[in-house]
A and B are shown apart, each in its own frame.
Chain A
């Protein structure tokens, strides 16, 4: 048992309120002055099937799931069956006293916490509805957390459903809490003790933070078709549209989504769409349309395992090659990849500026684990952010050339309706925008478009970050949500550093080459089958990384696996 970390896993049937209970408990921890990270596993179902949520709690910043579970909260028998044999001996198990435990093998002999969950829930008003709240009460007692914080959260959560519901939930939480205090007094772990002067924190996942980033950056139009893992992004944007005066439009498909977003952007709106791999397959033609017509567009890309429908509700980083090579022909692509919800917030805001500045689509890649895993953060500070719409005017232009050849590749953009005569053309076009098939014109327009990427590389591209010491025995290279697991694993080593890449296109090849060129040993860590980032690095720098830790089972790469790999590589 790690004394600095508390790892809780809540499991049950889909529909038992695993996610809401878990998130509520994460807030209890956060309001007590702790950091939290939660990781949810669920099948692509609404009712039935098994759901679980792991909540990792630490005084220090935490951004990864871990394999170890200190306390299992089993809301049904299946959860016990599924996880009992994975638990360490000293782990605790909260379960319903009424559960038939015949043929179940408790390794955690001394830390069994049977609570009459369904009985107490029934007494509170409903055997099924309040079961998770009783369990939360028991959990609160067993880690010595503050019951008043839990009640405060219940009030906030259910307040609009009326006093009766709040009171029934209070009762459920209290009876669970009291039962545990009374029956397991000697087993209480004195962990989640509220500290004084807790600064206000937020618990958000990537969907939350991207929505906030888009709203903060002045989003005016978005069209998104539902698809895991970005569906909740759509929900948040749809529910806030009147308040912040932008428009969310539900399209008939992803083709419509990207074309609507392009239309709105052409008309002058800050515009965004979001999807996952299957949806992006449908969007690729529109992706090129934005590139060819030089229409700014932010595309949020939430990866999940493919191909086809794949594992809809699990995680993977298998789409890097696809995103970089989507669409026929060539156009300037700006592709960024976030490693956690905060970075997703920042890159989303930046993406709007980059899209406007370079008049081209900007993709922000996140993976399912960023989209749906919640993490504790201080309130995002974006006081330094300034809206930059680039070469853009709403004033009428005479003798206007939409695609004027410019040294930096960027022509002045204006919008319909101000008197300017403006053409956006999917056909190759001349400077005005008229279709033009002459070879020399094609060459000039292609070079003009591609020069935008050169400008972006000089002006805006950021260098990759090197975590850990400058000189190390081993260098890890990775991207996306693996960042949290890697940084966690690195705490065990003094001689390991980590090159974290979040600008994918344009690619900071020189800096990567400089760092990896002098590395003694390199491990590439990715959640895909082939090591797509490592292949990209070879393409851009000539450096071949042969040591690769790759996971493509839909699950995250755990710090434990990384530690093992580092040890093997260093000694090997």
Chain B
């Protein structure tokens, strides 16, 4: 059993007051307590960005890697020890800019990972440049004349690439986000949650008020099994029409479930021993 105090690290969060990361941090910890995620069963991997500091504030085993690269690190961890819950914390710049290729291929392979995509539509740790999620026309430090690039929907990309659990949450609704994180982890296969997150310092458009005003929960009768409908939903981004909840979910074998070498037990549970290679010599004689 995990208690909230077990998750407390001696480091205090360094995020700005009101940062959306507080909500994601709180929701993740609440999920960890509910599900009993601890140092026996879970590992966290983070990239670089404001989100990446999270590993200092949760007392769970973690790896903070390079900008854009948490997904391949997490993939290696999962393949070496498929018993672990592997959570990837990544930002919109980290996951969709620098690490876009890894995101596409992780979705395609349906690795059993849970990706929490902290999406504040900006590069904030470097003090506010445009990210792949910054709306067209927005003025930022890197787009002083207005952003000429169009943002894209990470959820549409995830669905198109083959992810089997595709959801959107809002850092301002911790209760719902907690629920989503738990469901994402329970799902066998690649789960991604696009988490809308205000940046109170640099993003004056995507405020708590904006998200409260413009998002809605997908209705009870919404069928996340319908891929075409899900794709449609993933492209929805207009006034009062930003859907939250599980957009798409499909049952498909995860990558790890197809690897016979790790069917019985994780790789790392085999003691490293010197192997006999006499059989290999035969082929070369």
Contact = CB atoms under 8 A, between A and B. Distances in A.
Interface of A: 27, 30-31, 200-204, 208, 212, 215-218, 220-221, 223, 240-242, 244-247, 249, 251-253, 255-257, 259-271, 285-286, 289, 293, 379-380, 382, 385-387, 389, 415-427, 434-435
B56 A263 contact: no
A269 B43 CA distance: 15
Contact of A387 (B62, B84, B272): B272
A246 B261 contact: yes
Given A417-B83, A419-B40, A264 B77 contact: yes
A268 B75 contact: no
Nearest to A385: B274
Interface stretch (B192-200, B238-246, B275-283): B275-283
Nearest to A205: B284
B274 A266 contact: no
Contacts of B260: 242
Nearest to B59: A421
A220 B270 contact: yes
B274 A202 contact: no
B79 interface: yes
B33 interface: no
Interface of chain A, helix or strand or loop or mixed? mixed
Contacts of A262: 65, 73, 76
B79 A249 contact: yes
B267 A286 contact: no
Contacts of A216: 274-275, 277
A415 B270 CA distance: 14
Interface of B: 9-11, 38-41, 43, 45, 48, 53, 55-56, 59-66, 69, 72-81, 83-84, 101-102, 104-105, 259-262, 267-268, 270, 272-275, 277-278, 280-281, 284-285
B79 A264 contact: yes
Contacts of A246: 261, 267
Contacts of B281: 200, 202, 379-380
A82 B69 CA distance: 49
Contact of A217 (B40, B72, B78, B274): B274
Contacts of B77: 263-264, 266-267, 416
Contacts of A244: 275
Contacts of A427: 64
A377 to B, nearest CB: 9
A423 B139 CA distance: 38
B79 A253 contact: no
Contacts of B59: 421
Given A200-B281, A257-B72, A265-B76, 9 more contacts: A216-B275, A221-B80, A247-B261, A255-B69, A263-B79, A417-B61, A420-B61, A421-B60, A425-B64
Nearest to A213: B277
